[in-house]
A and B are shown apart, each in its own frame.
Chain A
């Protein structure tokens, strides 16, 4: 689908086009392309058609179904959908159908969006390539021998392949931005607390945020306004309405002070750093001032992240014990049943992170690992604070390389973890960040440029992202 979500909704709301036709176009694209791409774990044909028909009836009755009327949306499979399997790409959740919708799913529905299906991901969002999925990897639409990134690889690929104009992902250390960069789409992680996590199966609670993957910056802004804002079901949800960002996209960057972060440019794949420097020049041409800035604390971000996130995950994933839902493998007693179920139910990467996290929280190691990692997290936030005392926004690469080949890093977890090095800092600080496609690497693989702003700086972030998008299009 080439039209943006905003364009589709506009035609459906005026009755110029039926939601049913939009949904059929999406379903046909999936049927034709997804056997190769494998972005979807589940396609909800019947539900989507019924929902589209209901929207068409509402339009015919003179009602307004909302700003996303009839827009097909794909949901990462860690977002709970009432009565629809939600597996997190894990065997351990086989057969589980949540009895409730995530807050973001409710809000999308209230805005008229039509859920088309659930997308593939790294198991429990742990991974950077969508290869850690119990149902096999997703392929990158820009190169079928390439990974789409992860963990929201299915969502990014579904948008990039034109199956849907928008998808939701979740970002813990870069899981929206990194696959967006690899797949050449826009991916945005909001300020922590902006979007309710209620109904998002937790990976690392203090880092997880839900955000949009779209074909345009304006669509990402539109979705954020729909899904953002306080939710009383999430105690960490900020007590304020969604940020007003749609109007910011066209605002421009005249006079905006932008810091180009050395640590997110130097030492990366030359094709990537070259594009980032071009993006900086383009922003300068659009009226911004750009200066290079070093934030040395970023170097320790990845290490801190790979202690904090697994620590929280080890606790969050304890509940998958075979007692109440999902996979159960029997054993002679309860403890044996727990072990057998978890052994069979979790994949290797999830087990690795549970072990890492359990170790980091253990008596005698807590201070050396978890507590120290939290102090490093504060250092990273301090680094940002210093930079934001001089700049309105920061710029860098989203990823150190473009999409790597399937299987390239599966034997070496550490090299896979390095793929998150550019995205982890904003996650640790809880700041918003966005990846905008900015040309390719000369071999046809997209490059993503990352913009970041202070917490609650979404309007500025979208202004910069809008300028980047205009510059990238003008460049072609």
Chain B
């Protein structure tokens, strides 16, 4: 990320994140909450808003919302539902049932992996709309010939998580969204997939000169990936600063991120100001989860990402390097920390288990579940004991991930016989004898031939020699003066 703001400027960011809850059924009816089915197959009188139908609140959705609130240290509060009234064809009742002045989760905070705290204003329940596809003509809303509406998504439960305006950079915004996603996944409340729209982020961005009050904000929509979130905020920050520095004023508006053009553009302005005419939803009763229910929900939750990261760092035995901090973050975010823990419990060095998991295992995350932690631990022990080189270990791991098995057997099958010290020393002596001039230069302190000599030994031993061991032997020989 390159974001150096002009001196004296500060950007202020608040994020609104909508996440679809991973419930079995929709928020107010028994229709399946599923992504990717044939259009208009998961529908009924209730989620189609047919005349006479009435909503009945889904208990599982309430529990998942409570999990999110618990993870964000919110106060789970007595809440009510309101109607947000506006016309749109993919909204069956032409109002959305949402929570307004009494949300289920009030306040809270989210701690970023680097320790920064971002305040949470609320995390409330609401229903999703259907999905409109504009067809023919330009395909844009104004120029389409007709529109198709799929109501499968109508009534899917959402939680909208609103942060305080505590975020101060695009990188921090990405970190916030990433950490929030990790929390949603870890608590089982949402799958957090931005590409499928199950996690949608809107950014409120304003700029100010340091020490001044908040500037006028713009809301940016259509941020479909972490990458566009970061790019859009950077663009918008630069746009607003340039505007103000040129003597202009930021107008409060909603802007659309155009990924292709790499810029935010104002959305078609509505003829009149929005007036959603919120009023209490008379078809639903107030929701007031009692202490027993809240405690039950909290007890059923697994550890949160921050706790899991702390547990991994504890395994490392010393303060993590920056690289290890990033490995810990990514391993927890991709839900692979249990593998590291299991391998460490079976005797593998934690640092090695961490780096192999963060790199090689995560690269084929889909297969990680089939990796036997015991086999993984044995492989790492072989590598740590010098019986396999790092290169060989990675090859065996790749094989383990594809077809399982015993790491020792795989290593033998691949011809990775561990060399005993005698054979290795003999091979090194042979190589040095073949390259006397290079050896003399190394002895004379010219370190740049070191790599050549190690490479030659590896070549002479068909990659069986472990470079670290060879390196140590070379140092030993040089120190001993032969």
Binding site for B on A (CB under 8 A): 78-80, 86, 88, 93, 96, 98-100, 102, 197-202, 204-206, 232-236, 311-312, 314-315, 318-321, 323-325, 333-335, 338, 358, 361-363, 366, 370
Contacts and interface: CB of A to CB of B under 8 A. Distances in A.
Contacts of A102: 52
Interface of B: 45, 48-57, 83, 85, 87, 89, 92-95, 142, 147, 149, 275, 277-279, 282-285
A204 B280 CA distance: 12
B85 A318 contact: yes
B279 A315 contact: yes
A333 B83 CA distance: 25
A80 B51 contact: yes
Contacts of A199: 52-53
Given A199-B52, A202-B52, A361-B279, A319 B85 contact: no
Nearest to A326: B51
Given A233-B56, A318-B95, A321-B94, A98 B51 contact: yes
A320 B56 CA distance: 22
Contacts of B284: 235-236
A86 B51 CA distance: 9
Given A100-B45, A312-B279, A362-B277, 9 more contacts: A88-B51, A98-B50, A200-B52, A235-B283, A235-B284, A236-B283, A236-B285, A311-B279, A318-B93
Contacts of A334: 89, 147
Contacts of A78: 52
Contact of A205 (B48, B142, B282): B282
Contacts of A202: 51-52, 283
Is chain B's interface secondary structure helix, strand, loop, or mixed overall? loop
20 contacts: A78-B52, A79-B52, A80-B51, A98-B45, A98-B52, A99-B50, A100-B50, A200-B52, A201-B51, A234-B54, A235-B54, A235-B285, A236-B283, A319-B51, A323-B89, A334-B89, A338-B87, A361-B85, A363-B275, A366-B277
Nearest to A204: B282
B215 to A, nearest CB: 25
A53 to B, nearest CB: 29
A409 to B, nearest CB: 28
A93 B57 contact: no
B279 A318 contact: no
A100 B149 CA distance: 22
Contacts of B45: 98-100
Nearest to B56: A235
A319 B285 contact: no
Contacts, number: 99
B83 to A, nearest CB: 5
Return the 9 tightest CB-CB contacts between A and B, nearest first: A318-B94, A205-B282, A206-B282, A361-B277, A201-B51, A199-B52, A80-B52, A323-B89, A363-B275
Nearest to A205: B282
A334 B52 CA distance: 24
A461 B473 CA distance: 102
A340 B39 CA distance: 28
A318 B87 contact: yes
A200 B283 CA distance: 12
A236 B282 CA distance: 8
Nearest to A206: B282
Contacts of B49: 319, 324
Contacts of A370: 279
Contact of A315 (B53, B83, B142): B83
B220 to A, nearest CB: 25
A425 to B, nearest CB: 19
A321 B50 contact: no
Most buried by B among A205, A311, A362: A205
A335 B87 contact: yes
A5 B213 CA distance: 74
Nearest to A234: B54
A199 B283 CA distance: 13
A358 B83 CA distance: 13
Contacts of B48: 324
A315 B95 contact: yes
Contacts of B149: 323
A321 B54 contact: no
A151 B48 CA distance: 27
B271 to A, nearest CB: 10
A205 B95 contact: no
Contacts of B93: 318-319
B275 A362 contact: yes
B395 to A, nearest CB: 59
A205 B87 contact: no
A318 B87 CA distance: 8
Contacts of B94: 318-319, 321
A335 B56 CA distance: 30
Contact of A321 (B87, B147, B279): B87
A311 B279 CA distance: 9
Contacts of A338: 87
A320 B50 CA distance: 9
